[in-house]
Structure 1
Amino acid sequence: MTDQLLRSIGMNVQVDSMDWNTLLARRNRSIPVSEGGWSIAWGVWSNLDLMSPIVNLDLDGRGTRGYIGWAESPEIERLRDAFAFETDPVKQQAIATTLQRLSNEEAFSIPLGDYKAVTGHRSNVRGVVADQFLVFWNMELA
């Protein structure tokens, strides 16, 4: 699907299939594509990965010290720190809103798709965490 989307907007696409270890090794090298580097690494995040600016790797602005892609933004990092140390939820929300706007303006990540995991459970099970991955904390029998 990503291949088709990128081709439809005129991009030259080469899709490489590989095992996970090869992908991890290749994705950690910041070299040109012509030398074995990459320009898009497709991945999947769960709600748990994105729920806070503190843990959301799509907002990592530390450059070469940060997550793959090596996006650099001192302002994003300043806002992430401010969010982490702020205790007032209203102020945290304002910081998160500014972070979201800035990350969109700087194109830190570009979602190319979405999916929804369908889950089910018995009616006497409460506290189910709705996420793309099944987690067992917080559950109890009614």
Structure 2
Amino acid sequence: MTNPLSEGRQALVRRLSTIAIASGYRTDAGANVKTGWFNEVLQREKVGFPLIVVQKAKDQDPVPGPRALKVAAGYYVIGAVDVGLDDYEDALDDLELDLLRCLRPEQGRPLPWAPAGIQNIALGGAEQFPPGNGERAASVLIPVHLYTFITGL
């Protein structure tokens, strides 16, 4: 039996991996998608930029149904660029736009890139962080919830 929570996370990572200039995006960040804690990924010696990290975040409260739960699995999608202290805004805006375009919710339709059981996605407001305080990269954080049906309970 498959785990719908794992399938949702894996589909999210695969979807983010499609971000490429050749596909009409502004960056090639999809070639560098990681999972884990953002600060730990940044500390790795050979991390490249632009970078996308999918980090687990708090879920919303599950909604019970007959022998099922609707779970809003929470993630932070964090994009990072390393272009210096003076010119990071445009590069970070390009990456934020790519993330928003890639993850945009489908109104009234299932997500074409998600497995059965993933109803939709919700995006929270993006927040940008400049480089500094020991961090060499500027980053943008977008909270994401994948609405997942867990059946057969």
Question: What TM-score, normalized by structure 2, do the two folds share?
Answer: 0.25
Higher Rg: 1
Structure having the higher helix fraction is: 1
- Relative contact order: is structure 1 or structure 2 higher (C-alpha 8 Å, sep ≥ 6)? 2
